[in-house]
A and B are shown apart, each in its own frame.
Chain A
Amino acid sequence: MKTFLTATCLSLFMLTTAVSTGFGADKVLNLFIWSEYMPDEVLADFTKETGIRVNIATYDSNEAMYAKIKLVGKGYDLIVPSSDYVGLMRRQGMLIPIDVNKISNFKFIAPQFTNQSFDPDNKYSVPYMWGSTALAINTSLLPAETVQQTADLWKPELKGRLLLPNDPREVIGLGLKTLGYSINEKDPKHLQQAFEKLRLLKPSVRVFDSDSPKQAILSGEVSVGLMWNGEAFIANKENKMIRYLYPPEGFSLWLDSFCMPKGAVNIDAAYRFIDYILQPKVAAYLSQSIGYSSPNTGVSEYLPEEMKNNPIVYPPAQDAVRGEFLDSLDENTMKLYEQYWIQIKSK
């Protein structure tokens, strides 16, 4: 049965990967990346400068990328997982070590993004783009002093006025942070406490939305929303009364990094590509055109004032230190998350 399954899956996936696999080592690079995450102009310029042609394939969830790498394992030289999936794939031996000494521009990566728990010493990953998940508050509907920390979300005046992400890691992470624990907490007792706390928050929640949370806060359906900074940035652009708060208890950060999966062939091309992207000028262009924050310290020189001074895109250092990156969790902890998530949603 297993052989049959593997064979069927393999043959199906081979069909799709065969198209993207090129010939001639290191004259091509097979890049597997989130959709709308790498503009064509950047790829064209890279090809012009190095002669390396880039084949791009895209995904829209970490899970889809993970399953494809797991089942097929070859055909891609460079992937861009989020921090928790870097941790997962590294632990499962799915990645090739990266020698950062070979990447001359690695020195531009800010120290707060290197040497994280999901990949100590950056042995397997090089940061690409990052962002935060914190509180957007519509101060025209609610006095700014009502919500100054996550613990304030439990206040009675927020009943039915709150938006949370439709994502168990972020929601349970909020409960953990409020109690002063890590968002990667594994202690069942602490998780239980976070769940009990979150259960009391359910009457405040009007909507769970991770797709387009800016909509609910812009239309005034909710006064406060836990959302990622890209959404808050757009909401703030349309309505200046919408502020973004980095709560004192801490908040979660996401970081997408370049990794080389086992089965990568064009290793040199992958190194050259990462080095190219890490040039401050290119990184600044990318940050501006796709609208996420770059971990590159050199970008400020090239970014327009309104972007680099916007605390929603580039939080001040004293706020940024309270952020914590999501890491992957073991199976038993995931089971607890699942059980609590279903209970939070059902009642």
Chain B
Amino acid sequence: MNESLFFRRLLIGTTWGWVCLLALIPYIILLGVSWLQPGTDTLVLPTITKENYRHLLSPEVFTITAESVLLAACTALLCLAVGYPFAAILANAPAKLQPPLLLLVMIPFWTNSLIRTYALIMLLKADGLINTALIRTGLLTEPLQLMYTPFAVFIGLVYTLLPFMILPLYAALKAVDPKLLEAGRDLGASWLQNFLKITIPLTMPGIIAGTMLVFLPALGMFYVSDILGGARTMLLGNYIRDQFLVFRNIPMGSAASITMTLAMGLLLLLYYLATRRSGGRVMR
């Protein structure tokens, strides 16, 4: 009894220590630095200023933010459009088939997303698998321009983030009681009415969860747009990296990074409140 308590404390203590040392303390430093001025000789000057946060409201940073949010939102919508039918098929598949199908969704996920993004180049590039196949079969004479297009960026983002959409949707769809749909049909509802009035409202927590789980990482995944989109647009992630690595403006980079984290935290809070109200039990 005592021993198990000791181990529990040890485990929890280690986890907390880890989080504090490697996440909390760096964040507190970042938060502190974000209110200072950049310095030539000392990286930061010990002068308190609001300038960094004010600069975040400037038109150029606003454009960057808008581009990032738009890209993430489109990714989330595309994932929803692809993920919902997929999750529905999965949830209605024979019980024996469901675990292996879920496994197939999960397996690619075990490989690092950067490696999978590089792997997509092999498919999409001008002399890649898709173009070679199309030319060999005589369907095309000139290779399609697939790489370095918005299309490639969406392929990359949707491919990487799709499991985050499918899993909560699957859980939500599994929890829909078939009796409710039967009752609807008995009362004369069409398939579409059943879907719109019963299935969608009941799976709303899953839809919100999936959308959040795709939208938030998509905001930060600037490397997908760099590798597959040819880095032709600047996103928030690029902006933060450039502030730290190119322009040596550590306070500005910190301010942008803190703001982005806070915005994400706020969205997560909204999500938490929304699911608590509309029956978060589905998600558990």
Query: Chain A: residues with CB nearer than 8 A to chain B?
Result: 1-2, 4-5, 8-9, 61, 63, 67, 70-71, 92, 160, 166-169, 205-209, 215-216, 219-221, 331, 334, 337-339, 341-343, 345-346
Contacts and interface: CB of A to CB of B under 8 A. Distances in A.
A282 to B, nearest CB: 32
B230 A209 contact: yes
B245 interface: yes
A205 B232 contact: yes
Interface residues of B, number: 38
A168 B246 contact: yes
B67 A346 contact: yes
B197 to A, nearest CB: 44
Contact of A2 (B25, B40, B46, B239): B46
Contacts of B230: 205-209
Interface stretch (B98-106, B119-127, B154-162, B208-216): B119-127
Nearest to A93: B41
12 contacts: A2-B46, A63-B248, A92-B40, A92-B41, A208-B230, A208-B231, A220-B126, A220-B127, A221-B125, A334-B247, A339-B60, A346-B67
A8 B64 contact: no
Residue of B32, B46, B63, B148 most packed against chain A (CB within 10 A): B148
B244 interface: yes
Given A1-B32, A8-B29, A221-B148, A61 B245 contact: yes
Interface string B60-76: 10011001000000000
Given A4-B32, A342-B64, 7 more contacts: A207-B148, A219-B125, A219-B126, A219-B147, A221-B147, A338-B249, A345-B238
Q: Is the interface of B mostly helix, strand, loop or mixed?
A: loop
A346 B148 contact: no
A63 B226 contact: no
A206 B148 contact: yes
Contacts of A167: 246
A151 B248 CA distance: 31
B182 interface: no
Contacts of B244: 63
A342 B125 contact: no
Contacts of B181: none
Contact of A346 (B25, B42, B234, B246): B234
Nearest to B122: A219
Given A5-B32, A331-B40, A63 B245 contact: yes
Contacts of B41: 92
Residue of A9, A166, A221, A341 most packed against chain B (CB within 10 A): A221
Residue of A8, A92, A346 most packed against chain B (CB within 10 A): A346
B233 interface: yes
Nearest to A202: B232
B256 interface: no
Contact of A209 (B29, B231, B233, B246): B231
B234 A219 contact: no
A337 B121 CA distance: 31
A219 B128 contact: yes
A215 B121 contact: yes
B143 interface: yes
Interface in B11-59: 25, 29, 32-33, 38, 40-43, 46
